[in-house]
Amino acid sequence: MSNFLVGQKLQKISDMSPDLARQFEAWVVNTTKVKLLEKYTHYLEQEGKDNLRQLLLVPLFEIDELKKHVEEKAPELKTLFYRELTDALFHLEKQL
């Protein structure tokens, strides 16, 4: 999904109170990381699993930080990352 769709979903979050927006954004980031780990570790050999864990299990809780981290460290995962990020944002939107 494009940055435009992500931006539209984030706009709804940013309209909330700052504390609530931060909590929802952290939930989206953590959900995205967990979904990527769950879906793709069973396809990888041990070295790939370790690399994916090192990439995602970092103390980042903002979407922009995680986007930058993935783009710098593993640009080959951008498509998968954006798919999971968008899914998490759609899921959050349905819950609100």
Question: Closest Cα partner for 32 from 96, 94, 77?
Answer: 77
pLDDT band at 2 (very low <50, low <70, confident <90, very high): low
Give the residue from 87, 92, 96 showing the smallest Cα distance to 32.
Answer: 87
- State the first-to-last Cα distance of the chain, in angstroms, to the nearest integer: 21
55-93: pLDDT as tens digits: 999 998 999 999 999 999 999 999 999 999 999 988 888
Given a contact cutoff of 8 angstroms between Cβ atoms, the answer to whether 8 and 86 are in contact is: no
